[in-house]
Amino acid sequence: MCGIAGILRAGGEPVPPGYIAAMVDTLRHRGPDGDGSFFAPGIALGHTRLAIIDLTPASGQPFVDEAAGLALVFNGEIYNYLELRSELKALGHDFRSSGDVEVLLRAYEQWGHDCLARLNGMFAFAIWNSRKQELFLARDRFGEKPLFLARSPKGLVFASEMKAILAVRPELRRPNRKPIFRYLARGDLDLDEATFFDGIEHLPAAHYMIVDAAGRPVCRRYWSPTSAPVPASRKQATEGFRELFFDAIRVRLRSDVPVGSSLSGGIDSSSIVATINAQKASHFVHQRTFSARFRSPAHDEGRYINALTRQLDAEPHEVWVEPDHFVEEFGDLQWHQEEPIASTSPFAQWLVMRLARESGTTVLLDGQSADELLAGYDQAQGMFWAHWARRGRLDLVAREVLSFVRRYRAIRQPALFAAYYSLPETLRDRLAEFYYRSNGVVSHDLHREFAPAHADATHPFPDRLRNELVRWQTATQLPEFLRYADRNSMAFGREVRLPFLDHRLIEYCFGLPPDMLLRRAVTKVVLRDAMRGIVPDEILDRRDKLAYSPPQRQWVHGPLRPWIEDLLAAAERRTTIFKPLAVRGLRERLQKRPADVLTWRVISTEAWFQRLIDRPGCANSGQAEISPLSW
């Protein structure tokens, strides 16, 4: 895991060394173990290293092969590097290192752009090919690792974080009004390639880009969601899932530094921790787990955390999440995240990553993305009903609705979520647009400037349930959570690995029948079946779902109240973005009832403006002042 940066200047114009140095300075938290740079006519690459596999200088970066005319900077991990190394050796390639960095370079040398289909990993990388005079940029299938770009007719700047681009192109430190509108109007974050900085964009997940020496880019998708063949029986489905899940974890345990696991107490992270124990990994004498705890009994999962760690004889590490610390550290959290934070939840993960650093554990496996893969949200129930209703199976719909009502008899919110998501997609979008037009806080100018803010629909499958899961994974849910995970872990020089995002497992689950995901208001059916006898029944039989979140409502009307009121007051004065009267109404309502989601969107957007636009400096950045490049 590392930080990468680069500058391509059209026509072979040289890049002064100070510019790459300035970019690398902003990324040192991502790679505290070393740095390096590479220069050739028209191109400069920079790298900060977090050493995970092959800790020797042989795997240092930029990784250059002068004979082949190739130079690589790479952020991430190639989990199947050992298998690829053996295959490449058989094809005649020699290796001077034992890590995955050189394997990636040799894979590109052997297969060119088609190497991407062979990679099982999380990655963002750039390869300069001096023979072809082209830059090859690529990002993993789900966008676990970030790669930002700023393009112009004179060339391209790219980096793992936007602050590195802003170090050499400070004129781009201006707000991008379209994603701001989409967040305030609909709650969409990390929806597509647009960022909150005008002129900086993502390379989309599952895409690569080729940039020639003149700076002309061509971007292509190399992977799309597909499904494996449907298993013949429920037993085969369960066994196939277990086999792939175990292997996804096995390859993610490859490391030359200590590995632990995040443990929330839920089914997903507990399955990972228990599977590591079941595999009897030789370098795990006592498995280390890292957990966030909350003072509110309604939010704390300590009972389940303790049940698992005691059974497995794990070495538990815990941190208590406190509101006073949230206010004190929010500025640093926001600076690392670079875009608004939709709740207090990412702060819990932030503290867990710091705890891992204090323990000397560099790599953490995490259960994130299981909800998007296995229909773990309440909204999925409504789509499940609609799925069977469209097939004329009203008997199944009645059974599922009855089971759901029994489960949530005393709770209205899950039922409302499910009912709303059972509606056709176009109707949902119209209802949402009507609601936010009548209750919105964005300025009239901002509202007139942009079209309705819903995400573009993706329909690779013939049924609505799987298509909605794809949308969760690629647009409306997972990209935001992956940003939190990457920035929180890298802020403390840690690495997060996500077994549920193994593309083999994803494709397998897209081939499962719907009742292996949901049945009688029970979610993640195939995971529960596969983990029976491995994870304690007390955890597997849970029907409640906590959001790994602090007691935000209690905080908002307690310790966070002055902080929120100050941000609302400031937002009321930012008339180019907000409706002053609407923000004032939020302030008045805050006196009488709990803050709603719209209030949080306003304060998080205002906090972003204050930290990243109005006063963007960072105390731990020692970069020298340089003159901006001419673009």
Look up the CATH number of the domain holding residue 149. Answer: 3.60.20.10
- Residue 622 inside a domain? The answer is no
- Residue 25 inside a domain? The answer is yes
Q: How far apart are CA 391 and CA 574, in angstroms?
A: 50
- Residue 623 inside a domain? The answer is no
Report the pLDDT averaged over residues 248-260: 96
Q: Which of 453, 469, 485 is the last residue of a domain?
A: 469
Q: How far apart are CA 378 and CA 210, in angstroms?
A: 41
The percentage of the chain sitting over the pLDDT mark of 90, rounded to a whole number, equals 70
| pTM score | 0.93
Within a 10 A sphere around the Cβ of 464, how many other Cβ atoms? Answer: 18
Contact predicate 353/491, CB 8 Å: yes
**203 in the same domain as 85:** yes
C-alpha angle with apex 479: 477 to 481, nearest 5 degrees? 75
Select the highest-mean-pLDDT range: 64-73, 295-304, 402-411.
64-73
Please give the span between the terminal C-alpha atoms of the chain, in angstroms, as a whole number: 30
Please indicate whether residue 265 or residue 230 has the higher confidence score (pLDDT): 265
- Whether the per-residue pLDDT at 544 is higher than 60: the answer is yes
**120 in the same domain as 60:** yes
Q: Which two tokens stand for residue 95?
A: 């290796």
**121 in the same domain as 55:** yes
pLDDT tens for 483-497 read 999 999 999 999 999
H/E segment holding residue 274? helix 267-278
**272 in the same domain as 202:** no
- Whether the per-residue pLDDT at 600 is higher than 80: the answer is yes
- Residue 373 inside a domain? The answer is no
Please tell me the total count of domains within the chain.
4
H/E segment holding residue 309? helix 302-312
**362 in the same domain as 247:** yes
**481 in the same domain as 444:** no
- Residue 625 inside a domain? The answer is no
- Whether the per-residue pLDDT at 98 is higher than 90: the answer is yes
Q: How far apart are CA 93 and CA 68, in angstroms?
A: 12
Query: What pLDDT is attached to residue 313?
Result: 87
Q: How far apart are CA 384 and CA 371, in angstroms?
A: 15
How far from 255 is each of 55, 318, 533, CA to CA, in Å?
Answer: 10, 23, 28
Q: How far apart are CA 543 and CA 426, in angstroms?
A: 31
Q: How far apart are CA 43 and CA 580, in angstroms?
A: 47
- Residue 621 inside a domain? The answer is no
**72 in the same domain as 191:** yes
- Whether the per-residue pLDDT at 328 is higher than 90: the answer is yes
Backbone CA torsion sign across 123, 124, 127, 132: positive
Q: How far apart are CA 24 and CA 575, in angstroms?
A: 36
Query: What pLDDT is attached to residue 19?
Result: 95
Beta partners for 183?
A: none
The string of DSSP letters for 144-191 reads -S--EEEEETTEEEEESSHHHHHHH-GGG-SB-HHHHHHHHHH---S-
Contact predicate 64/38, CB 8 Å: yes
- Whether the per-residue pLDDT at 412 is higher than 60: the answer is no
How far from 175 is each of 199, 237, 280, 576, CA to CA, in Å?
Answer: 9, 48, 50, 11
**176 in the same domain as 67:** yes
Within a 10 A sphere around the Cβ of 109, how many other Cβ atoms? Answer: 17
Q: How far apart are CA 212 and CA 297, in angstroms?
A: 57
Query: What pLDDT is attached to residue 548?
Result: 74
Placement of tokens 């403390």 in the chain:
492
Please indicate whether residue 593 or residue 230 has the higher confidence score (pLDDT): 230
The SS3 of residue 603 is helix
pLDDT tens for 340-390 read 999 999 999 999 999 999 999 999 999 999 999 999 987 888 878 887 788
Query: What pLDDT is attached to residue 620?
Result: 43
Contact predicate 369/498, CB 8 Å: yes
Give the β-pairing of 148-152 and 134-139.
unpaired
Task: Please give the distance of CA 583 from its chain centroid, rounded to a whole number.
Answer: 30
Q: Which two tokens stand for residue 225?
A: 């969601």
**212 in the same domain as 74:** yes
Q: Which two tokens stand for residue 109?
A: 């040398």
- Residue 349 inside a domain? The answer is yes
H/E segment holding residue 484? helix 478-491
Q: How far apart are CA 421 and CA 467, in angstroms?
A: 13
How far from 213 is each of 43, 127, 128, 266, 528, CA to CA, in Å?
Answer: 9, 13, 10, 50, 52
Q: Which of 423, 451, 469 is the last residue of a domain?
A: 469
- Whether the per-residue pLDDT at 14 is higher than 70: the answer is yes
Q: Which two tokens stand for residue 14?
A: 């040289």
Q: How confident is the model at residue 522 (pLDDT cuts 50, 70, 90)?
A: confident
Q: Which of 440, 469, 498 is the last residue of a domain?
A: 469
Please indicate whether residue 373 or residue 281 has the higher confidence score (pLDDT): 373
The SS3 of residue 50 is coil
- Whether the per-residue pLDDT at 423 is higher than 90: the answer is no
**333 in the same domain as 217:** no
- Whether the per-residue pLDDT at 567 is higher than 60: the answer is yes
Report the pLDDT averaged over residues 436-443: 68
- What CATH number is given to the structural domain containing 282? 3.40.50.620
Placement of tokens 């097939």 in the chain:
391
- Residue 630 inside a domain? The answer is no
- Whether the per-residue pLDDT at 622 is higher than 50: the answer is no
The percentage of the chain sitting over the pLDDT mark of 70, rounded to a whole number, equals 90
Provide the residue range defining the domain that includes 70.
Answer: 2-221
Q: How far apart are CA 279 and CA 289, in angstroms?
A: 16
**297 in the same domain as 212:** no
**355 in the same domain as 214:** no
The string of DSSP letters for 446-460 reads HHHHS---PPPP---
Report the pLDDT averaged over residues 36-43: 96
